[in-house]
Every structure is written in structure tokens, then in C-alpha cells.
């Protein structure tokens, strides 16, 4: 259908869905269009994620296909979510108002139907009261069912309309033509109260469900609420308030105490403490001074400062987090795809069961076969509505992903949450993951024969390391620059992967790197230096050698501090019974020293990027589900191969891009929290699905009358309606319990 460059992805709000079957209908109406690659509808947050080829498809065509199926799309990608929320609020208020009126009319119907059947004209009174309950206040069930029938589909509204409509028509016939039954020696029963009460209970369930579902997305609403609408722009020394969408990169912005930082940027002037908790999950305010980075949505505390706007609008970290969370909440876990298939055939199967129930009653029911057959058929149709089934997975995912966002754990998609449960082996990179990733030179030492040339050698070393991309090279550059060395020109510069660099100056060849680089170029180390090297490396110091073509000139000792909570995080992961490994390009002794300090038994040193990727495959070959956590370009290959990948938020863009989960705060304690969140979310999904399935497995046979031959018990449609509404609310309430889980 075209290359990936020809593919667009949109997240659009959907209107008019009332159950998981509706979501299936919307998906089916879109996937049959030529040019649509994938369509995934999330019933819980009423959204569509669609991937399509713009050569064949325009958004307006998508909207028409959805409208033809009886629903609608909001195409405004700038403010679509706000419009959807406004419409949902209107519908919610309208539903509550209709529920109150319907309940007011239904109450006397119930009283007459259960306690005052001998009242004169009782059936006529119930007929008059129940008619507006069904066909005015409950008309949406019938109109939606009709729209579905026009397209050869059935959903929850079909079940409600058929059940209550059948009960109403049967009761109306018995009210106006009682003689039909009297002539046959039977009493004409009416079920107006059952039809009205079912409508009221299902409307009540929808009201409660809507309120509960709104709570599942509070995390994303909080994040969206952090986006300021205006900011103070400084131009030619004057302050001017402008709308946020007018600011451009490079503009100077003033942020006063208590204000939200409007865009991403760097401090130009002033200092303050900034609360970054909504982005990082870290409750302690962070000190900010000149040149420090600040992010949109964070809250300035005491001081005021001027900043230079760097990223604005959809480019800010907050906007990207919101987009990522919305996409993740709209995605489907593998288990949800199975549930959707079941929901897609569920309503037709229930219609079949209801018809079979009626036929069996007609054959085996005796004198009251028709009356009880209709009653049982109505009850089956009422109790079997698949709302709970459709809500079980997406509501838990929305709460879980939202909770992760609140704690600075960004989950790329629903599949990532499900995978996290299976992880039993975890690989760490060392630099920037277990350690701070900001190595510093603790000592630069020149051998006796090179000390006379120290100034010139510093210039050569600085010029060489400036051209290197290795993080340790940055530490040497930072150490040498304050010494005021001059810029000199290096010729024949070469980078040797996993070993170091080389280059020439005034016809003399120089090498900077590890011992392997020296060995490859036949440069020897004396015995005393080898002993010193070992002791330094055992103290977690990394040695970088500096040599010319004939001999070693000196070496730099570089230390990378271990993060304060790395040991605690590793201990927490061990308690989760996960095998832990550390892979590093550093030498054996330094790797051993770091592993010893943080409590890791398994580690591998001198690992190239391809070696890390190979090790992931080795563990996978042993049947393990492998997680990889890293922060650099050199980790991206292993991250992409791992079953479950975690990127540190301060890492490279490519590492973040391939990861299933990104930790906004580069804190290893977030790793056990992320895996704990995964386990709790999947546990909640399984609980929800269990109760949704059990409810239907038990409820449908009882509704059909399986207990009647032995116990004389036949389930009343009113009780069935209450049970159906309660099942949906209980599933959403169980999902909301995730908010209380301590990570």
C-alpha cells in the first residue's frame, strides 16, 4: 500500500458509542476502507487510533464511514478532546435528567405492578406511564438499535431494545385483548414494570459508569491542566502578555513566583526553585540557575527568572508526555484484542440463546409456556449486555498508564504493560544507568620522560578528545579546557570502536584509549604501572592511556559516581525474583567494583554494542523474557532486541524512541515501580475479565430458567437489569482501585 513515509496516524474522539460492540462496529466500518492500515477503537476513553495512507484516505472519508455506521468522529485534532469532553458532559447531564424523569414515572408502575394489581384500570395506568419511559426517555436504545440493524449489526442497545420492547408489546396486547387468554383459561400477565425498571436501571448504570470512567482519566486531565494559556514576553525591555501559541523559539520569557513555566527553555537571568513533580514524580523542588533547563507545566516557587524559549507548543516535554499517555491509553493490549473478538460475536450469540430459551419454554413450559417463555427470553436479553466485558481491559489500562505518568513512568503502549508482567531477566547498562553518567577526571598523570612536554601534550590530548564522541572523552575535555590550552589541528583522526582514538600532530602519531588499543599498536606497559592500574580499577576508576607510536606518555583516572539509590533498586528487583545482569564497555576490574558495590552477581565487561545485543539473544534463547535498561545510542540495538525495554529519560532520543517505557526521572528505583505497576494492572485486568465472564456464565442460564424445574425459581427482568448495571460499575470501580496501589 505504500512505504512508511506514506502512512499517517491520527487519534480522534468518537461519539455515540454505548458498548464494546459499538467499538467493534466502528472498527469494522473503517478497516474495510481501502487505504486503512489499522483501526483501534478504545471504548473506555471513546477514542480511535487509525493508521492510513493519505493517498487513498482523507479524514472526511473516515468520518463519513463512521457516520454511516451510526456514530461520529471529531476531526478537530487541535481541540478535539475538549469538544468531545464538552459533548460528553452535555450527554451526561441529559442522561441524568432523563433518568430522574424516567424513575419518577417508573416508581408508581412498580408499586401498582407489585402491590396494587387489583386497582381499577391498573394495566391501563401502567401502559400510559411506561410508554414515555421506553419511547421518550429511553428512545436512544431503540434508535441506536435501529441504526445497527440497518447495517446488519447488533450491540448492547439491540439487547435492551429487544428485551424491553418485547415485554412492552406482550403487555400491551394483554392489556387491550385480555379475552384472548381468558377464552383459553389463562390469566393475561403484564410486565410493564419489568420493561420500565430495566430501562431505568440501565440508565442508572450508564450514569454511574460515566462518572467512574471520568475518574480513570484524571491523570491526563491533570497533565493537560498544566498547560498555561498565556505568558509574559519581554521585548525591547518591556513586558507584554501574549497567548501561548504566539511564542517562538528564541523569545525571552518572564516567569514570576507561583507561575507555571510556559515553555521548555534555559534560564537566562535569575534563579529559583521549580516544582517538577508532575513531570518527574519527584516531590522535592529543584534549584535552577543560569543555563539550567526548565520545562513547560512545572511550577516556579519563590524566585522570578527570565528564560529563553527553546521548545514551544507540541514540541515541549509536557506536550510529548500528554501525547504519549493519550496514545498509550488508546492502544490495545493483546488480551483486549481477544476480548474484542468475543464482544463482536457476543450479541448475536445472546440473541440465539434468547430465541432458543423461548422455543424450549414453548415446548416444555406447560400451561404458562408463552408467558414464561417471553419472560425468560426478555431476562436473558437484559442480563447478557456485554458492557462489563468491554470495560474490563481499557479502564484498567487507562488508570494504570495514568498512574505511571503521575510517577514519571511513561508507558508507550498497552502491550508494554502486559509484557512487564512476564519479565524474569533484566540487563543494565552501567554508565548513566547504574552510575551518574557524568564521569570526572580525578587525576591526569604523565610519566617521567613526558613531563617536560606536559603543556604541549595537554594541547594534543584536548584536540584529540574534542573529536571523540565517547562520554569519557567529554570528562577529559572538561578537565583540560580551564587550563587555557590552545586549539591545534589534528590530522589523520581515527576512532576505533571499543578501543579509543588516534591522530597525528606535526608528523607524530598519538593514541588515546584502553589497554587493548596499546596492545594492538605494540605499545608496552611497565610492570609497576600494571599493578597501579589494577588497584585503581578495583576502586572503580577507569584508566584512559595516552601514548605516541613508541611508548606510553601518561594516563587519566576517571571516576563515575554510582547513583545513590542504585543498590536499593537492585535489591528491590531481586525481591521480585528477577535475574539481574550488568553489561558495560568498561574494563573487568571497574565493572567488578561497581557490581560489588550495588550487589550484582552477574556482569560482563569490555562489551561492544553488538555484544550487548548478542547477550540479549543468548538469554532469550534460554527461554527468558528479557528486559533491557539503558540510556545511550550504544544501548539502542540491545533495547530494540529486548522483549521489554526501558530508557532513562535523560538518555539519547534514539534510546527513548525504541523503548517500551521511559523513566522521566533517571532514577533506578523507578524500574521496580514500573514492573510493579505492570503486574498490578494486568492483575486488575484479569480480575475484571474473570468477573465479567463469570457474571454472564452464571447469569444467562439462571435467566433462561435452568433453576425453574428444580426450585421453581425464575429470575425477574428487573433484577436482571440491576445486576447488569452493577456488573459494569463494579468493573470500573475495581479498575479505580489501582489508584490506591503503592508503587
Eight-state DSSP code of residue 740: G
Residues 6+ apart with CB under 8 A from 81: 13, 224, 326
The mean per-residue pLDDT over the stretch 652-678 comes to 76
What was the pLDDT predicted at 741? 83
Between residues 459 and 214, the one the model is more confident about:
459
Using pLDDT thresholds of 50, 70 and 90, give the confidence band for residue 1.
very low
What was the pLDDT predicted at 575? 92
Cell of 506: 606535526
Between residues 563 and 389, the one the model is more confident about:
563
Q: Report whether pLDDT(2) > 50.
A: no
The mean per-residue pLDDT over the stretch 53-69 comes to 85
3-state secondary structure of 672: helix
pLDDT in tens, 257-312: 888 888 999 999 888 888 876 666 555 678 888 888 888 888 888 788 999 999 88
Q: Between β-strands 299-300 and 508-513, what pairing exists: parallel, antiparallel or unpaired?
A: unpaired
The mean per-residue pLDDT over the stretch 673-678 comes to 90
The mean per-residue pLDDT over the stretch 615-634 comes to 84
Output the CA torsion sign for 610, 616, 618, 621. negative
3-state secondary structure of 243: strand
Active site residue 429: yes
d(CA 647, CA 361): 62
Using pLDDT thresholds of 50, 70 and 90, give the confidence band for residue 713.
confident
Q: Report whether pLDDT(71) > 80.
A: yes
pLDDT in tens, 548-592: 988 889 888 888 788 888 899 999 999 999 999 998 877 787 888
What was the pLDDT predicted at 3? 47
- Which of 275, 429, 560, 631 is the catalytic position? 429
Closest CA to 634 of 493, 469, 411: 469
What was the pLDDT predicted at 622? 93
- 372 with 189: CB under 8 angstroms? no
Q: What are phi and psi of 366, to 5 degrees?
A: 75, -145
pLDDT in tens, 174-207: 899 888 777 766 677 787 887 888 788 778 877 7
What was the pLDDT predicted at 655? 47
Give residue for cell 567529554.
474
Percent residues over pLDDT 90 in the chain: 14
The mean per-residue pLDDT over the stretch 615-622 comes to 92
Q: Which of 170-179, 313-322, 404-413, 495-504 has the least mean pLDDT?
A: 313-322
What was the pLDDT predicted at 126? 92
- Per DSSP, helices labelled H in 32-155 are 59-68, 80-115, 122-132, 139-150
What burial class does residue 64 get, using C-beta atoms within 10 Å of its C-beta: 0-12 exposed, 13-18 middle, 19+ buried?
middle
Q: Report whether pLDDT(603) > 70.
A: yes
The mean per-residue pLDDT over the stretch 415-437 comes to 84
What is the rounded average pLDDT for all residues in the chain?
81
What was the pLDDT predicted at 374? 80
The mean per-residue pLDDT over the stretch 504-526 comes to 88
Give residue for cell 432458543.
356
What was the pLDDT predicted at 185? 67
pLDDT in tens, 458-494: 999 998 988 887 777 888 888 888 876 667 888 988 8
Q: Report whether pLDDT(46) > 50.
A: yes
Bridge partners (DSSP) of residue 36 are 52
Using pLDDT thresholds of 50, 70 and 90, give the confidence band for residue 134.
very high
Q: Report whether pLDDT(318) > 90.
A: no
The mean per-residue pLDDT over the stretch 433-448 comes to 84
What was the pLDDT predicted at 103? 92
Bridge partners (DSSP) of residue 125 are none
The mean per-residue pLDDT over the stretch 327-334 comes to 64
What was the pLDDT predicted at 651? 47
Amino acid at each position: 500500500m505504500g512505504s512508511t513515509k506514506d502512512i499517517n496516524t491520527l487519534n480522534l474522539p468518537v461519539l455515540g458509542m454505548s458498548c464494546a460492540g459499538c467499538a467493534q462496529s466502528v472498527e469494522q466500518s473503517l478497516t474495510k476502507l481501502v487505504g486503512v492500515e489499522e483501526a483501534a477503537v478504545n471504548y473506555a476513553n471513546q477514542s480511535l487510533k487509525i493508521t492510513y495512507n493519505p493517498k487513498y484516505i482523507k479524514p472526511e472519508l473516515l468520518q463519513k464511514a463512521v457516520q454511516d455506521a451510526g456514530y461520529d468522529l471529531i476531526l478537530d485534532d487541535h481541540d478535539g478532546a475538549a469538544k468531545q469532553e464538552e459533548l460528553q458532559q452535555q450527554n451526561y447531564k441529559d442522561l441524568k435528567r432523563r433518568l430522574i424523569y424516567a424513575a419518577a414515572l417508573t416508581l408508581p408502575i412498580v408499586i401498582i405492578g407489585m402491590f396494587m394489581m387489583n386497582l381499577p384500570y391498573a394495566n391501563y395506568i401502567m401502559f400510559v406511564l411506561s410508554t414515555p419511559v421506553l419511547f421518550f426517555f429511553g428512545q436512544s436504545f431503540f434508535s441506536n438499535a435501529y441504526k445497527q440493524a440497518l447495517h446488519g449489526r447488533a450491540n448492547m442497545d439491540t439487547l435492551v431494545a429487544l428485551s424491553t420492547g418485547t415485554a412492552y408489546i406482550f403487555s400491551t396486547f394483554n392489556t387491550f385483548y385480555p379475552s384472548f387468554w381468558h377464552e383459553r383459561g389463562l390469566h393475561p400477565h403484564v410486565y410493564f414494570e419489568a420493561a420500565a425498571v430495566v430501562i431505568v436501571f440501565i440508565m442508572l448504570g450508564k450514569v454511574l459508569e460515566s462518572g467512574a470512567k471520568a475518574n480513570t482519566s484524571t491523570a491526563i486531565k491533570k497533565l493537560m491542566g498544566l498547560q498555561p494559556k498565556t505568558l509574559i514576553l519581554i521585548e525591547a525591555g518591556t513586558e507584554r502578555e501574549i497567548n501561548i501559541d504566539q511564542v517562538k523559539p528564541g523569545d525571552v520569557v518572564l516567569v514570576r513566583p507561583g507561575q507555571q513555566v510556559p515553555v521548555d527553555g534555559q534560564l537566562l537571568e535569575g534563579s529559583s526553585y521549580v516544582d517538577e513533580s508532575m513531570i518527574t514524580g519527584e516531590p522535592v523542588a529543584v534549584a535552577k540557575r543560569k543555563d539550567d533547563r526548565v520545562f513547560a507545566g512545572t511550577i516556579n516557587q519563590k524566585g522570578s527568572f527570565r528564560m529563553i524559549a527553546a521548545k514551544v507548543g507540541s514540541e515541549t516535554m509536557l506536550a510529548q508526555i500528554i501525547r504519549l499517555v493519550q496514545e498509550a491509553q488508546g492502544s490495545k493490549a493483546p488480551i483486549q484484542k481477544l476480548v474484542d473478538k468475543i464482544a463482536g460475536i457476543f450479541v448475536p450469540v445472546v440473541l440465539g440463546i434468547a430465541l432458543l430459551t423461548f422455543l424450549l419454554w414453548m415446548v416444555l413450559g406447560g400451561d404458562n409456556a408463552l408467558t414464561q417463555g417471553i419472560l425468560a427470553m426478555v431476562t436473558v436479553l437484559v442480563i447478557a449486555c456485554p458492557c462489563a466485558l468491554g470495560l474490563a481491559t481499557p479502564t484498567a489500562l487507562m488508570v494504570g498508564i495514568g498512574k505511571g505518568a503521575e510517577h514519571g513512568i511513561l508507558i508507550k503502549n498497552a502491550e508494554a504493560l502486559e509484557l512487564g508482567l512476564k519479565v524474569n531477566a533484566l540487563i543494565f547498562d552501567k554508565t548513566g544507568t547504574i552510575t551518574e553518567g557524568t564521569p570526572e577526571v580525578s587525576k591526569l598523570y604523565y610519566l617521567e620522560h613526558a613531563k617536560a612536554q606536559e603543556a604541549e601534550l595537554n594541547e594534543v590530548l584536548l584536540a584529540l578528545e574534542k573529536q571523540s564522541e565517547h562520554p569519557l572523552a567529554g570528562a577529559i575535555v572538561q578537565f583540560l579546557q580551564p587550563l587555557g590550552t590552545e586549539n591545534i589541528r589534528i590530522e589523520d583522526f581515527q576512532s576505533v570502536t571499543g578501543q579509543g582514538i588516534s591522530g597525528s600532530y606535526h608528523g607524530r602519531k598519538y593514541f588515546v584509549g584502553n589497554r587493548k588499543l596499546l596492545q594492538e599498536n605494540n605499545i608496552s606497559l611497565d610492570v609497576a604501572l600494571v599493578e597501579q592500574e589494577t588497584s585503581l580499577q578495583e576502586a572503580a576508576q577507569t584508566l584512559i592511556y595516552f601514548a605516541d607510536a613508541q611508548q606510553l606518555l601518561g594516563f587519566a583516572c576517571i571516576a563515575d559516581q554510582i547513583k545513590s539509590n542504585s543498590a536499593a533498586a537492585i535489591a528491590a528487583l531481586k525481591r521480585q525474583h528477577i535475574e539481574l545482569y550488568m553489561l558495560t564497555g568498561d574494563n573487568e576490574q571497574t565493572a567488578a567494583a561497581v557490581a560489588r558495590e550495588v550487589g550484582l552477581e552477574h556482569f560482563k565487561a569490555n562489551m561492544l554494542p553488538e555484544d550487548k545485543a548478542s547477550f540479549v539473544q543468548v538469554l532469550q534463547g534460554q527461554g527468558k523474557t528479557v528486559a533491557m535498561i539503558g540510556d545511550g545510542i550504544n544501548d539502542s540495538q540491545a533495547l530494540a532486541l529486548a522483549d521489554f525495554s526501558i530508557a532513562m529519560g535523560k538518555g539519547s532520543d534514539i534510546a527513548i524512541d525504541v523503548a517500551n517505557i521511559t523513566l522521566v526521572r533517571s532514577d533506578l528505583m523507578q524500574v521496580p515501580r514500573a514492573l510493579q505497576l505492570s503486574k498490578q494492572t494486568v492483575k486488575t485486568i484479569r480480575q475484571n475479565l474473570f468477573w465479567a465472564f463469570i457474571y454472564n456464565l452464571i447469569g444467562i442460564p439462571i435467566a433462561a430458567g435452568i433453576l425453574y424445574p428444580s426450585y421453581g425459581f425464575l429470575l425477574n427482568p428487573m433484577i436482571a437489569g440491576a445486576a447488569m448495571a452493577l456488573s459494569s460499575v463494579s468493573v470500573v470501580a475495581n479498575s479505580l482501585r489501582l489508584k490506591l496501589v503503592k508503587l
